[in-house]
Amino acid sequence: MLPKRLINLIGTVLALGLIAAGLLLIAGPVFLGSFEVEAQRITVAQSNDLLAAQVSALAEQAADLPALESELAGLRRGIPMSAGMDQVSALAVKAADGAGVELQSFDVGATVTFAPPAGKLAEGAAEAPAPAEGAAAAEEPRQQVSVSIVVESDSGTEAADFVDRLRKGPRLLQIVQVVNTASSVAAVKGTTTVTALAFVQHP
């Protein structure tokens, strides 16, 4: 028969073993789960920080929206969705008045599909395919209209001022050619012929 002290020792060891097993079975998973919860907390915190940064960026963009809309409106005035040749003629008249030259003629050519300058395309833009046979020019998203403007001036300085004013108008014009014909008679004004392109952007 085992001594009483040995029996108590064995009982104590068994009790401690049961307690340790209980801790491993119950507290262990809880302890390990706390690591997973902490990892999830960190992930959520990082996600919240990212969302906060995105919201802040959107708020800044929203604050800039009126200025962007104003800039867009200006671009649309420069390249409208219709030919708007009345705007171009008004620009020519205003430029002539400002430069002190006399407007002699304003001729508008045909509206054709936009064609970049020879050998040049906008960066990153692909060359547009040829339109289908019989397609109307108005269906093309980008078009151009040739304009010929003839003025008479007392000097080359006035003629140059007129051309500069054409470039600064709200309606975008690409100056293609400027031809000055100087008069051989001092009392007769010189003639300047400006060939330009007005652009149209359809939606």
The residues, ordered by sequence, that sit 6+ positions from 114 with a Cβ below 8 Å of its Cβ are 128, 140, 142, 143, 144, 199
CA distance 157 to 169: 19
Helix H or strand E segment including 152: strand 142-153
pLDDT at 126: 40
CA distance 108 to 127: 26
pLDDT at 4: 67
Extents of the domains making up the chain: 1-75, 85-117+136-201
Q: Which residues of the chain register pLDDT less than 50?
A: 119-138
Q: What's the number of CA atoms in the CB half-sphere (13 Å) around residue 136?
A: 3
Are 195 and 176 in contact, with CB atoms under 8 Å apart? yes
CATH class of the domain defined by 85-117+136-201:
alpha beta
pLDDT at 23: 65
pLDDT at 170: 83
124 in the Ramachandran plot: left (φ > 0), alpha (ψ -120 to 50) or beta?
A: left
In terms of Cβ atoms closer than 10 Å to its own Cβ (0-12, 13-18, 19+), residue 106 is middle
What string of H, E and C letters represents the secondary structure of 13-75? HHHHHHHHHHHHHHHHHHHHHHHHHHHHHHHHHHHHHHHHHHHHHHHHHHHHHHHHHHHHHHH
Token pair in block for residue 63: 């604050």
pLDDT at 103: 94
Please state whether the predicted TM-score (pTM) of the whole model is above 0.85: no
